[in-house]
Amino acid sequence: MKKLTFLLIAAALIVATAAGCGETNNNGGGSTTPVSTPEESSSSDESSTPDESEDPDESSTPDESEEPDESSSPEESKDPDESTEESTAPEDDENKTATEKVLQAIKTVYGESYLPNVTIEQELLETQFGLSTDTYVEAAGEVPMISTNPDTVLVVKAVTGKEGDVKAALEAYRSKLINDSANYPMNLEKINAAKVESEGEYVAFLLVGANDDRANATADARTSFAEYQVNKAVTAFHDYFKS
């Protein structure tokens, strides 16, 4: 009986001991190496993405590294207006013809009162003033753009021996204007004051001066005013050859 009891107790101890060893193997995980799952092992790829480590757009942009040199722009280095300023200066008297110089001397004495502003073309010298091409060497003259204004200045250099022919042609033109002045009575005194003057081979037709705008001026006063204005051109013409 005692043997049976001992055997039962021994069997119970063996079972208890075996059960304790099984629990130790299952619960003693502190010394075992944990197994990494695919999700955990691949998480390291997210810690170093190529977008964050290498950004080609931020490291060397062409706009910042290669900016055009502002110090050598063509607009600043070359100014066409400054470089050609002297070349566009008005021509001086050295480039004028002899008759153009005389004309300029007459224009100067009137200033803003000088009304002619259109050059007399060569064809008008014959059709309007009766000068044939074989009677003069050169000529310079101007008339107003407004046809109702009679102001005219013409300086002619005659061919040697033809001075009389040139003067006669200009005198005939003056007479024609006087005869036609009835069409423009407001210009009567100025037209009657026109002069034909000569200096050697140079002959000038002078009908020029400020307009008399006095509303209550008498005919004599208007005549005196017109003659005074034209005589300024006569004096300038003769003075030019004295200098």
Distance of CA 111 to the CA centre of its chain: 29
123 within a domain of the structure (yes/no): yes
Q: Look at residue 236 and tell me whether its pLDDT is greater than 70.
A: yes
How much is the pLDDT for 170? 98
Task: Say how many domains are in the chain.
Answer: 1
Q: If DSSP codes are grouped into helix, strand and coil, which group holds residue 200?
A: coil
How much is the pLDDT for 5? 58
162 within a domain of the structure (yes/no): yes
85 within a domain of the structure (yes/no): no
Q: Are strands 152-158 and 136-143 parallel, antiparallel or unpaired?
A: antiparallel
Residue 221's domain comprises 95-242
78 within a domain of the structure (yes/no): no
12 within a domain of the structure (yes/no): no
74 within a domain of the structure (yes/no): no
- What is the tens place of the pLDDT at every residue in 78-122? 444 443 333 333 446 778 999 999 999 999 999 999 999 999 999
pTM for this model (two decimals): 0.63
